[in-house]
Amino acid sequence: MQTIEQLLESKNIRVTAMRLLIYKFLAEKQVAVTLSDIENAFDKADRTTLYRTVKTFEEKAIVHQIDDGTGITKYALCEEGCNCEIETDLHLHFHCNICNETVCLTEHKIPQIKVPDGFVSENVNLVVKGICDKCSR
Ligand SMILES: [Zn+2]
Ligand SMILES: [Zn+2]
Ligand SMILES: [Zn+2]
């Protein structure tokens, strides 16, 4: 098992206390989080630092952005080995209409979608909406 430090270093991210804390926060969450969730969890930290950390993680494929249709961008940790490539790494997300939480369905990859000639795909979002296992009980 890789430590978080090794993981960050393998992605050429300098290890800082703040980065480790944010990584751990994301790892403990079973659901995708918003920037305000992160701000609330680290209310003593500088917001710009938090924002930049998330952006760095996103650029280095540590986290991915999720647009679940709620209008608020959410973030979740990438799986090991993820490069956030459209062809290989993107997966479905599930948004619960009751608790409003969004989870990664990492075992369900997004099928390759061929766009017409001249079109360039930059991102794909596939969100299944419904009732999650906790709310359906
Ligand atoms: Zn990723
Ligand atoms: Zn739910
Ligand atoms: Zn995901």
State the pLDDT at residue 87.
Answer: 83
Question: How far lies 32's CA from each of 2, 5, 68, 107, 108, in Å?
Answer: 22, 22, 10, 16, 16
| Ion ligand 2 residue ranges (Cβ < 5 Å) | 96, 98-99, 132, 135
For range 127-137, the mean pLDDT: 96
Write down the architecture of domain 4-130 according to CATH: Orthogonal Bundle (1.10)
Tens digit of pLDDT for each residue in 84-103?
988 889 999 999 999 999 99
Residues within the annotated binding site?
Answer: 96, 99, 132, 135
Task: Name the burial class of residue 63, with classes exposed (0-12), middle (13-18) and buried (19+) by CB atoms within 10 angstroms of its CB.
Answer: buried
Cα(58) to ligand 1 centroid in Å equals 8
Spans of all domains in the chain: 4-130
Tens digit of pLDDT for each residue in 28-75?
998 999 999 999 999 999 999 999 999 999 999 999 999 999 999 999
Give 123's pLDDT tier (boundaries 50, 70, 90).
Answer: confident
Ligand nearest to the CA of 78: 1
